[in-house]
Amino acid sequence: MGEKALSLRERLAWGALGLMLFLGLWTFLSTSGIVPSQFLPTPLEVLNRIIRLMTDPFAGATLPQHLASSFQRYALGVLLAAAIGVPLGLLMGWFRLLDNIITPIFDGLRFIAPIAWVPFAALWFGTGIGGPVMIIFAGAFPPCLINAYRGARFVEPRLIEAARMLGTGNARMILEILLPDATPSIVAGLRVSAGLGWQSLVGAELIVAAAGVGFMMVQAQANVATPTVIAGMLAIGAVGMLIDVLLRQGEGWLRRRRGLEA
């Protein structure tokens, strides 16, 4: 038998308990001497550092400014991945010849981890905006294409047959039948793409950037400023979680509107 679903209040209570246990263990390790405080500051020290970074520059900028720089690169990379990946995936799902041409190339490239593109991006772009955008694109592009392709392949056949009987051309069928029917799959792919793009961004900024949260963390590591490193990690996690929550809400709204869930 399946377990009874928890209410929102119960989920929040269990989540709060888990957070308290995590913070308690963290505090114990950093104050007991098991882990030197130089390498694991207390949560309070990290919180104080976050507050200071909101107004005091580190590595040339405050924490909000580093986040803004990171998000600019992230938005460019993900939007570029969506702008190319979604239409290409739909066309590959619709035109078998295009699918046969592109799939072997795509299958060969999509298994290259985004971080593996870092040396190549550094050679091409140095520490300019192009390198991180390229790496983010490498992480975000495959889910966009794959989900759009799957959405196109599983369009209701009766709709296609009816449209063809009415003499509907390919362009109208793609815009009025294929795209609307594949939208839930496309949105699900965008959510995965957004998460992978954010993770790829941080890897890129550790090496090929002169600003951003990843760059701030590298500079902090070089100066053994552990509270700043952890502050950057928490900022990355918080922004990534916020992006995922917003996209999850958008995906749920779309599915409810299309009657795909209660």
- By the 8 A CB rule, do 200 and 138 touch? yes
- C-alpha–C-alpha distance, residues 64 and 10, integer Å: 33
Q: What is the pLDDT of residue 262?
A: 44
Amino acid of residue 171? A
Rounded CA separation 257/260 (Å): 8
Dihedral, CA of residue 114, residue 202, residue 71 and residue 15, to nearest 10: 110
Domain positions in the chain are 1-40, 41-257
The Cβ-side half-sphere exposure at 188, using a 13 Å CA radius, reads: 11
pLDDT, block means (10 residues), the chain with 262 residues: 65 86 90 85 92 91 91 92 92 87 88 84 77 89 92 73 66 72 85 89 75 87 90 90 85 70 49
In order, the DSSP letters of the chain are -PPPPPPHHHHHHHHHHHHHHHHHHHHHHHHSSSS-TTTS--HHHHHHHHHHHTTS-BTTB-HHHHHHHHHHHHHHHHHHHHHHHHHHHHHHHH-HHHHHHHHHHHHHHTTS-GGGGHHHHHHHHTTSTHHHHHHHHHHHHHHHHHHHHHHHHTS-HHHHHHHHHTT--HHHHIIIIIHHHHHHHHHHHHHHHHHHHHHHHHHHHTTS-SSSHHHHHHHHHHTT-HHHHHHHHHHHHHHHHHHHHHHHHHHHHHHHHTTS--
Determine the pLDDT at residue 38.
83
CATH number of 41-257: 1.10.3720.10
CA 188 – CA 198 distance, rounded (Å): 16
| pLDDT at residue 157, rounded to an integer | 66
- Euclidean distance between the first and the last CA atom of the chain, given in angstroms as a whole number: 22
Q: What confidence score (pLDDT) does residue 86 get? A: 92
